[in-house]
Structure 1
Amino acid sequence: MNRPLPRLCNGLLGLCLSLALSACSHEAQQPQLAIRPIQPEAASGYQSKPGWHLQRYAVAAANPLAAEAGRQILQAGGNALDAAIAVQMVLALVEPQSSGLGGGAFLLHWDGVRLDAWDGRETAPAAVDERLLLNEQGQPLEFMAAAVGGRAVGVPGLLKMLEAAHRAHGRLPWAVLLVPAIELAEQGFAVSPRLHALLAADRHLPRDPAAAAFYYPGGQPLAVGQRLRNPALAEVLRRVARHGSAAFYQGPVAEALVRKVQQHADNPGRLSGADLLAYRPLRREALCQLWRKRYRVCGFPPPSSGQLTQMQILGLLEQLPPLERPLEDGAPSAAFLHRYSEAAKLAFADRAQYIADPAFAAAPAGDWRSLLAPGYLKQRAALIGEGSMERAEHGTPGAPLAWAPQADQPEYGTSHISVIDAEGRAVAMTSSIEAAFGARLLSDGGSGLPGGFLLNNQLTDFAFAPRDAEGRPVANRVEPGKRPRSSMSPTLVFDAASGAPLASLGAPGGAAIVHFTAKTLLGLYAWELSPQQAIDLPNFANFNGPTLLEKGRFAPATLETLRARGHQVEEVELPSGIQALQYRADGLHGGADPRREGVVLGE
């Protein structure tokens, strides 16, 4: 049993009071928050999760320390948005490989009346051009040659987006929401098995001197259970708590970030102080789609491909006759996996052809919803037969556009947070620095103290090859000020008839996010499973190529049947990190992925 830490503001009383007075105009009395961190469980392998049933509010996050921070905020009277901010700040500390101040996020927020999609996606610096990810011979760089260093660092959007969302929806003072992360950064936390394993496996992070000194003391990765303090991050968070996001986007923190990017020894980037000052988060209209005639599934519009692609897959499956047995012995059947893989090929072909930042790439037929139109889906579903189509070509939902399809390339990263508060408000937020440990650059924010935050490599989410052999441009090519295409799929589900909220869910996993979230939706609403049961289902994916099945989770007969239908089948690790919360008549039900450290906490 871990000894509870002291009440949150006891050790930082002066800080709490000064932050609350200087950083907000709320008239409510400063709440006395308490944080009682519990240490993360082992994440190696598959750790069964019990599923959770709560009555008033719930927080699902990728690390127990972060979930506990959110729970404490809700307990103190904060709302879902307040809790999500506190969770994210702690994730920046305890799960630095996945998200943090140096990255971006997409946030869906339901306030009981209005649904907003807050876009904190990174942008390309003003000095880049479409050849950014090519070598001197004009050929695409190897992924790590582009990702490691300053070249692929985009303008971080997380803090400005969260601040803007808080101004619109927050209840507790901004400064209070950062105190859990400040406290943990000062006092330290026990390194989790997952963080240790990822540090041990990464060859590139130790190349950064600051990261090597902080994460590899004595040349070895931090041990499981070793207490890690991060005074540099604590100092950055204090500044942001006092002065808002301006403390990050200008002044010493911004200057240190720019130096780190521009002065990289062998792979410098082009991000500037002017880029940081120019960044603006966007408040977009959520993209909602009717599914199974009963559910209104809402997600993020472009530059995310997540909602469009997952709903294309699910919509294509709806066009086909129902299967008698989509599940067999607790796993998706071969008949279902065949159909799903074919639908995924069709959807990912359209994704590669069309989806990009809408400020730079027009939607087919002038509306992204053309990709989800029933007539178009019916036309595309007719291409699904009894055998594998091997590789799909994109469709044409309207007048042809002069884009070249984007070539296949890897995608990584991310963490997901779902929150439902006592008044039924809901948040689904997916955040990222792209690859594990991002660009492998640790910035101390100009403090000179140990630690800090990692920078993203999100520009590798653009197409490495900006044009095809005929010179046609790829919609998702690099351009100044552009937001790279993403797969992040924060999702909120509503009852189509009453409008009542039904669920909040999402996942990390690069392009596989689409499949992890689609699987969970199918489990919840096609197969009537609990959130935990839906998350526990074996993972499966297809990106318009081989059918990928989670290693060791499917019967040999399933693989044989798929191969007999012409599928190239590969068993691989598909380590999702799905979080899901569901409103039910008897309260809130939650699930967290057994493949990672996440939990659901609440009351």
Structure 2
Amino acid sequence: MNHAIPFLRPAWRPTATLAATLLLLSACGGNGTDTADNGSGTPPVVTPPVVTPPVVTAPDTACEVVSNTGSVVVGSGLPGDPAAPEPASGYRLGKTAVHAKQYMVSTANPLASRAGCEVLKEGGSAVDAAVAVQMVLGLVEPQSSGLGGGAFMLHYDATQKKVQAYDGRETAPAAATENYLRWVSDTDRTPPQPGGARASGRSIGTPGAVRMLELAHQDHGKLAWKGLFGSAEKLASDGFPISGRMASAIAGATTGLSRDPEAVAYFFNADGSPKALGTTIKNPAYAATLKTIADGGANAFYTGAVAQGIVDKIKASSGGTPAVAITPGLTEMSDLANYQAKRREPVCTTYRAYWVCGMSPPSSGGIAVASALGILENFDLASHKPTAIDIEGGKPTVMGVHLVSEAERLAYADRDKYVADTDFVPLPGGSPAMMLDKTYLRNRAALISSTRSMGTASAGNFGTPALGVTALNERGTTHFTIVDKQGNAVVMTTTVEAGMGSFHMTQGFLLNNQLTDFSATPTDGTGAPVANRVEAGKRPRSSMAPTLVFHKAADGSLGEFLMGTGSPGGGTIIQYVVKTVVGALDWGLDAQQATSLVDFGASNSATTSLGGEHPSINTANGGADDPLITGLRALGHTVSTSAQSSGISTIMRVQRNGQSVLQGGADPRREGVVLGDSFQP
């Protein structure tokens, strides 16, 4: 088949209307002068009166949304407030792109978006806003991220035109062995309790998000660290209504949370029932912890009373009523005191007329996204754009889904075998370059057939020692994207791993179960060592893929900022990000359309996912009436239409009515909103 590399630069056609348009008053009327003939046959001299036009000022809608009745402050509880709690929804129809002049924030929760936007409005940097956003997310989305978890961030410095990666991934304790997750000890080969590592202390890695945010703030903050915690502290003290997703998460984690006294007191009513949608919930313990961090910096989290509380909870050996055994973790105060967030070099590669930058290991997201795009670069994807494009992104084509999914199978095969914490396991050739070499990826692209799915792909051979591969069940997170007044950008994906993490709660926040992202077994079925095995101080491999896209400058270097995006979703994050980037760059979708577009793709298995929650997918009759589903099946794909739970947040810089503006989209599969300074077209 033809694998010629087309050099495509789609014309930008922002087609979505503004999410809300300001209504400006206008005054008009006659001048009151009589122009009748004066009897002399000479037209009268008409002197218009001096009229001072009324001063018309558009309402300041910065960091607000506009409803049918006017602008609404997010979190006010007034009609049109997007923070008003609603039942968790699989997909919210009708979201359109939002535009702003100078600054913008897109998160998965309205209250977090408001906190970040207020910081930007005050002149804060994108990193300042990221601190405020994360502190609120840890309160209103405890199931997804928080102080007890980790994060990856990419930062773009618009003045220096430089991208910096920040690694706040959790680490295994110094006492961990390669069998830490599967046995109580190397000599006691009983599994951790209760029921495996996830809900035990063994799953809890040393949290990294707080130290990482402080490191980024030291590099790029403008406002004082202490002043960035106010929104979260106030919400924690005054209370906030439980959202649909949080309510569902509490109800779904009843068994796990019931083992922890602090979690029971916070998430459940006196009668033992889980707190429901719309219930006002207060978290004074979280507010106190935030004040401690605000006053004392990250050191106040990693040493002293807060750190001791974390260690004590990890070492808990029982919980619940009646009490059940919990295998304690082996984390010590020294593990927290010695934790280091790291600056890393991002993974930046060219894709057609663009540069795409992603997160470096221990996340596999940047390499896997770049690998898939590098393979897709060999195909004319523009000719396979969705049909019937509407505000929901349209209907993907069979060949569009096929090519993207096949490229992802190849990318996942390589990442599964070769990518782990590079402080412990080097990449082939010692850097991403060998895995992302254009010739290598062209040869990988040649493995794709236009008539049949490969099902399961084999990893490439780089002449390095064989490493084992084990399957992992990665889970969800949250993501946000921010651009400040100076054009600096932050994309940050943050997590406690599974919903409600390890179910261990201390001082108002949940602890992660991130170590279950390691392979529990150190070798595979052939006896080969697994790159992502547990080792003391090691960071588990991740799929988180915060992504920045830039135009390619005339000299081929990194040009102007174009796009920031990312998503939660565990192992499927890579697919969500590739879909969004391809949707924008190859198919000309705007920020909301690319975000809303059907979630589709494949890891390295025969199953190809099509998000059945999307209105463009017809799941009736087993999908037999949907030409996309039947077309993929005809190519040998095993199609799953299970609902997807992406949480994509996208900001793009586009031209609108001759102006360079920001355009944002928030995933309709979650509760997020886009906020920024008002833009009048």
Give 1:247 shift: 1.1
Q: Distance in 1 between matches of 2:602 and 2:231?
A: 40
Matched, 1:317 2:376: yes
Partner of 1:366: 430
Cross-structure match for 1:601: 675
In structure 2, the partner of 1:351 is: 415
Aligned to 2:328: 268
Query: What TM-score do the two structures reach when normalised by structure 1?
Result: 0.90
1:322 to partner: Cα distance = 4.7
Matches within 5 A, 1:1-12: none
Q: Show the 5 A alignment for 1:175-254.
A: 175-202=226-253, 203-217=255-269, 218-254=271-307
1:514-533 aligned within 5 A: 514-533=574-593
Aligned equivalent of 2:540, options 459, 468, 484: 484
Equivalent residue for 1:579? 649
Match among 138, 148, 153 for residue 107 of structure 1: 153
**Residues 202-211 or 503-512, more deviating:** 202-211
Task: Give yes or no for contact 1:364–1:401 (8 Å, CA) kept in 2.
Answer: no
Q: In the alignment, residue 457 of structure 1 is paired with which amino acid? A: N
Any idea what the Cα deviations from partners look like across 1:267-302, whole Å, max 9, x if unmatched?
21111101000001101111111001x111111111
Shift of 1:144: 6.4
Q: Which amino acid aligns with 2:447?
A: L
Name the amino acid aligned to 1:91. L
Is 1:547 the counterpart of 2:608? The answer is: yes
Please report how far the alpha carbon of residue 135 of structure 1 lies from its aligned counterpart in structure 2 after TM superposition.
4.0
SS in 1 for 2:247: helix
Superposed counterparts of 1:67-82, under 5 Å: 67-82=113-128
Distance in 2, matches of 1:512 and 1:163, equals 29
Residue in structure 2 matched with residue 117 of structure 1 by the alignment: 165
Seen in structure 2, the aligned counterparts of structure 1 residues 251 and 323 have a Cα distance that, compared at 3 Å, is closer
Residue of structure 1 in register with 2:67 after alignment: none
| Residue in structure 2 matching 1:331, options 377, 391, 395 | 395
Q: Is the 8 A contact 1:489 1:513 kept in 2?
A: yes
SS of the aligned residue for 1:362 comes to: coil
Q: Which residue of 2 aligns with 1:459?
A: 515
Match of 2:75 in 1: 37
Query: Secondary structure at the residue paired with 1:106?
Result: strand
Q: Is the 8 A contact 1:317 1:339 kept in 2?
A: yes
Change (3 A) 1:88 1:267: same
Letter in 1 for 2:482: V
Q: Provide the residue aligned with 2:633 in structure 1.
A: 563
Identify, as 1 or 2, the structure richer in helix. Answer: 1
Structure 2 portions without partners, runs of 5+: 1-62, 65-72, 77-82, 319-325, 389-393, 619-625
> How far off its partner does 1:466 sit?
1.3
Q: Distance in 1 between matches of 2:342 and 2:632?
A: 43
Shift of 1:228: 0.8
Asked if 1:259 corresponds to 2:312, the answer is yes
The equivalences for 1:321-470 within 5 A come to: 321-322=380-381, 324-329=383-388, 330-385=394-449, 386-396=451-461, 398-405=462-469, 407-444=470-507, 452-470=508-526
Query: What is residue 287 of structure 1 aligned with on the other side?
Result: 347
Instruction: Give, in whole Å, the separation in 2 of the partners of 1:483 and 1:273.
Output: 18
Q: What secondary structure sits across from 1:370 in the alignment?
A: coil
Is 2:156–2:489's contact at 8 Å kept on the other side of the alignment?
Answer: yes
The equivalent residue for 1:128 is 176
Structure 2 distance, partners of 1:45, 1:117, is 32
Range with bigger deviation, 576-585 or 316-325: 316-325
Distance, in Å, in 1 between the alignment partners of 2:103 and 2:464 is 48
Aligned residues: 561
Tell me the CA shift for residue 143 of structure 1: 11
For the structure 1 residues 45 and 36, does the alpha-carbon distance in structure 2 shift closer, same or farther, using more than 3 Å as the test?
closer
Q: 2:224 aligns with which of 173, 180, 183?
A: 173
Task: Name the SS of the counterpart of 1:332 in structure 2.
Answer: coil
1:537 aligns with 2:597: yes
Query: How far did residue 133 of structure 1 move?
Result: 2.0
The alignment partner of 1:393 has SS state of coil
315-324 vs 74-83, greater mean Cα deviation: 315-324
**Aligned partner letter, 2:628:** T
Distance in 2 separating the partners of 1:206 and 1:369? 48
Q: How far apart, CA to CA, are the structure 1 residues paired with 2:134 and 2:382? A: 40
SS of residue in 1 equivalent to 2:435: helix
What are structure 1's unaligned runs of at least 5 residues? 1-32, 445-451
After superposition, the C-alpha distances for 1:9-41 in whole angstroms (9 at most, x for unaligned) are xxxxxxxxxxxxxxxxxxxxxxxx999634245
| Match in the other structure for 1:46 | 91
| Whole-angstrom distance in 1 between the partners of 2:195 and 2:155 | 35
Q: Secondary structure in 1 aligned to 2:123?
A: coil
Cα distance change of structure 1 residues 143 and 515 upon mapping to structure 2, 3 Å threshold: farther
**Bigger shift: residues 272-281 or 206-215:** 206-215
Per the TM alignment, residue 432 of structure 1 is displaced from its structure 2 partner at its CA by: 0.5
Question: Could you list the per-position Cα deviations for residues 119-161 of structure 1 after superposition, in whole angstroms to 9, with x for gaps in the alignment?
Answer: 1111110000111122479799899621112111001011111
How far does residue 184 in structure 1 lie from its aligned partner after superposition?
A: 1.0
Of 506, 511, 520, which aligns to 2:571? 511
Whichever residue aligns with residue 311 of structure 1, its letter is A
Indicate which of 562, 568, 589 corresponds to 1:502. 562
- Change in Cα spacing, 1:379 to 1:359, as seen in structure 2 (3 Å) is same
Taking a change above 3 Å as real, the CA distance of residues 215 and 128 of structure 1, as seen in their structure-2 partners, is same
Residues 322 and 239 (structure 1), Cα distance of their counterparts in 2 relative to 1, 3 Å cut: closer
Whole-angstrom distance in 1 between the partners of 2:204 and 2:667: 29
Give the SS at the match of 2:258: helix
Q: Specify the alignment match of 1:10 in structure 2.
A: none
In 1, are the aligned partners of 2:354 and 2:550 still within 8 Å (CA)? yes
In the other structure, the counterpart of 2:55 is: none
Q: SS where residue 301 of structure 1 aligns?
A: coil
CA distance in structure 1 between the aligned counterparts of 2:84 and 2:341, rounded to whole angstroms: 32
The answer to whether the Cα contact below 8 Å between 2:474 and 2:497 also exists between their aligned partners in 1 is: yes
Once the two structures are superposed, residues 215-239 of structure 1 have per-residue CA deviations (whole angstroms, 9 ceiling, x without a partner) of 0112112122111110000001111
Say if 1:567 and 1:103 are closer, same or farther in 2 by CA, change over 3 A.
same
2:549 aligned counterpart, secondary structure: strand
For the 8 Å contact 2:99–2:664, the answer to whether it is kept is yes
Does the C-alpha gap of structure 1 residues 579 and 412 become closer, same or farther in structure 2, counting only changes over 3 Å?
same
Higher mean C-alpha displacement, 47-56 vs 430-439: 47-56
User: How big is each residue's C-alpha offset from its partner over 1:375-430, in whole Å with a ceiling of 9 and x where there is no partner?
Assistant: 1101111111121212111001x32223112x212111211111111111111111
Across the aligned residues of Structure 1 and Structure 2, the Cα RMSD in angstroms comes to 1.9
SS of the residue 1:118 aligns to: strand
Check conservation: 1:57, 1:588, Cα contact below 8 A.
yes
The alpha carbon displacement at 1:209 in A equals: 2.0
* TM-score of the pair, normalised by structure 2: 0.80
CA distance in 2, matches of 1:560, 1:171: 54
- The alpha-carbon distance between structure 1 residues 302 and 142, as it changes in their structure 2 partners (threshold 3 A), is farther
Question: 1:328, CA displacement in angstroms?
Answer: 2.8
- 1:589 and 2:663 matched: yes
Structure 1: which amino acid aligns with 2:199?
V
Q: Secondary structure at the match of 2:329?
A: coil
1:326 positional shift: 3.2
Identity %: 45
By how many angstroms is 1:541 displaced? 2.5
Deviations 1:87-138 (A, max 9, x none): 1111111111100000111111112112211111111100001111224797
1:537 shift after superposition:
0.8
Q: Which amino acid aligns with 1:232?
A: A
